[in-house]
Amino acid sequence: MNLSNPVVVWVGALLLTLLFFYGMDHFIMLIQGLPLNFDLTPAQ
Amino acid sequence: MKNLSLNLSLNLSLGRQLLLALGLLILLPGNVDPDNGFTLLNSASAAEADSVIGVASMAEAELVPAPKPGRGDYPSVGVSSRSVVWVVAQMHMFFAAFVLAVPLFVLVIEWIGVKTGDDRYDDMAHEFMKISMTAYSITALFGGALAFALFLLYPQFMEYMMRVFGSQTLVYAGLFFAESVCLYVYYYSWGALRYGNRKWLHLTIGLMLNAVGLTLLVIANAWSTFMMAPSGVNEAGAVTGSIWEIMKGPLWNPINLHRFLANIAFGGAIVGAYAAYKFLSARTQEMRAHYDWMGYTANFIAILAFLPLPFAGYWLMAEIYAYSQQMGITAMGGILAWLFIVQAVLIGTILLAGNYYLWSGMSRTEGSIRYTWMVKYIAIVLVAGFLVWVTPHTLILSASEMAELGGSHHHLLGPLGIMPAKNIAVNLMLIFTFMSFQIYRRADKVATVSWEKAGNALMVSIYLVAIANVIFAGVYYGYFTNTVYKVGSSVMQVVSTLMVIVSGIVIDGFMYKGAKILPSVWGRVSNRAQYALFALPVAFTWLMALMGYVRSSVRTHWHVYTVMKDNSPDNYIPTIGHAGNMMTIVTVLFLLCVLFIFWIASLANTKQPPPAPVTSKPS
């Protein structure tokens, strides 16, 4: 992976951030007893 | 254990209580075991029981219910007792907030001065303290007036509060003396303890001053929160718990945090106005530069403390709802709900003024040209967020207006009146305010680290994903799921905003370490920016008056909620118009006092030139 390539840097940063916030959303709802499905809909 | 603690409490000296009360500062969290040493503070009914000393009589005294005063038990002085207490209490709160807040950031500024070796920080910290010195005396005057007014106009209520809090009130008085001693020593020893080890002694005195000040704050907060959500008493109001159980009610820590942050923001705004006043009246470039820097620092403090404030407010409201849903609905869904629209206007004013000041301040450095293109987009988001926030949900309409509108809610604007829309608006406004901060801080720097581009990519990604998350959580969970998810998802929004702020500080902290600094010209800022600094304390003061009124009014016709009824002639929630007039009167009164303080602070530096020598005419 070429880290000097701007496309790699930007896509990598975006994916990393998306992954972090996705996990954060699940965690925040889970600790409130409100688990989510994979698509972030409320678990039935 | 309880009897033991009662016995111990009888033998407890005032000095010991003082030390224990100071310890509260360190042990604030509510997870302290009530059976531990804090029960030693138990004064409960002890001090207010009759003079017969003994455990048995103390136990009996504990079961005395709250008084039930009738209408005739309230003395009348010819004017509304509530109005008198309202004005005096609010004035005391304004000044107390100011004098407790200023030493907090003064200590930090002084410490930065020591670490950097830059005397400008020390001079600025000293000047900030000078402003608060006059305010301190006025705080005490209003505090005394408030105590007299309460004992005169609400004697049964005060008798009950004295019974509940007992000797803790003496601890408070003792702390007030300690605060005065620390304050005067801290201020007047500034020059004598300026360098070397002496400076560390001075910083320690400042730390003690703040420790005492914060302890005073949390004790006074306990009185307010006891009135809203009493704990340590039974249904009839008889004291059943220790002083610690009485203090650590469900609203105590939310109020502690909220007032701590709000006081700093308020104090920063007031000293910012002082700097603006001095900037506009400066006659030399050197003075303009000094007061420009002072104004910038004050605005920095005010906005930085203000950013997390809505989250502290959110926590407080959540705890109010958890304690009593009825109380929460009275605040946000009943007669007081419209005041939250006024709150939105005031907070919007604060954010717009704070941002405008930062944008104006970017003119101090040429490096800002790299970021000025962003300002218009930030402004659009702030204005749009402001408009959404002030959109009311339920309108008071006539039949014809309702027919014209097609219902009680507007078909397009109605959905913007509920919390999910406002949560999105508030969080976006905070995120974009932080963006203003970040570009301002970056304006005079050029990063020299090799990973600058990757760091910027990460920062931009965090902004984009956080904004998307705030909007997604607000729209999807706010409008298309049930209430439980709606409330739960608001935490996602809050944390997203906090992530932006924290990651922005961390990334910039590393990225601009050892950065190339571009020249900045302090004093090169428009006069208009100074008026933004005047707008901040006006809006903050009004906001404190407004929300202080809401916090107090949620008790409706109770002195102490569900425990002691208010049977005075003023035991009703006044009209919004009347409340608005009262808040305005007290705000204007406070601002006049602030102008007086600024004048006094300036007067100290004014020296009359010596008279010209009289020359006798030759005869």
- Burial class of residue B399 (count of CB atoms within 10 Å of its CB; 0-12, 13-18, 19+): exposed
Q: What is the pLDDT of residue B39?
A: 36
**Residue B33: pLDDT over 70:** no
Q: Is B562 left (phi over 0), alpha (psi -120 to 50) or beta?
A: left
CB contact under 8 A, B499 and A24: yes
Overall average pLDDT of the B224-239 stretch: 95
Overall average pLDDT of the B440-458 stretch: 94
**Residue B59: pLDDT over 70:** no
CB contact under 8 A, B492 and A32: no
Overall average pLDDT of the B356-368 stretch: 93
Residues of chain B contacting A39 with CB distance shorter than 8 Å:
none
User: For residue B446, what is the enclosing H or E element?
Assistant: strand B445-446
CB contact under 8 A, A24 and B457: no
Q: What is the pLDDT of residue B60?
A: 52
Beta-carbon count within 10 A of B591 CB: 18
Q: Three-state SS for B575?
A: coil
Q: Cα(B538)–Cα(B272) distance, rounded to whole angstroms?
A: 11
**Residue B359: pLDDT over 60:** yes
Give the mean pLDDT of chain B.
Answer: 88
Overall average pLDDT of the B450-462 stretch: 95
**In chain B, % of residues over pLDDT 90:** 74
Q: What is the pLDDT of residue B610?
A: 87
Are the CB atoms for B46 and B166 separated by under 8 Å? yes
B506 Cβ under 8 Å from any chain A Cβ: no
- Written as one string, the DSSP assignment of B197-221 is HHHHHHHHHHHHHHHHHHHHHHHHH
Overall average pLDDT of the B523-543 stretch: 94
**Residue B18: pLDDT over 80:** no
B491 Cβ under 8 Å from any chain A Cβ: yes
Residues of chain A contacting B460 with CB distance shorter than 8 Å:
13
Q: What is the pLDDT of residue B556?
A: 92
Whole-prediction pTM: 0.83
CB contact under 8 A, A29 and B492: yes
Overall average pLDDT of the B79-101 stretch: 96
Q: Three-state SS for A21?
A: helix
pLDDT band at B58 (very low <50, low <70, confident <90, very high): low
CB contact under 8 A, B454 and A3: yes
B502 Cβ under 8 Å from any chain A Cβ: no
pLDDT band at B617 (very low <50, low <70, confident <90, very high): low
What residues are paired with B446 via a beta bridge? Answer: B516
Interface of B with A in 440-479 (CB under 8 A): 453-454, 457-458, 460-462, 464-466, 469, 472-473, 476
Among A17, A25, A34, select the one facing B462 at the smallest CB separation. Answer: A17
Q: Is A40 left (phi over 0), alpha (psi -120 to 50) or beta?
A: left
**Residue B36: pLDDT over 60:** no
For chain B, the 3-state helix, strand and coil shares in percent, each to the nearest 5, are 75, 0, 25
B315 Cβ under 8 Å from any chain A Cβ: no
Sign of the alpha-carbon torsion through B86, B87, B91, B94: positive
Beta strands B558-560 and B564-565, pairing class: antiparallel
Overall average pLDDT of the B172-199 stretch: 94
pLDDT band at B178 (very low <50, low <70, confident <90, very high): very high
Angle between helices B252-280 and B576-603 (to 10 degrees): 50
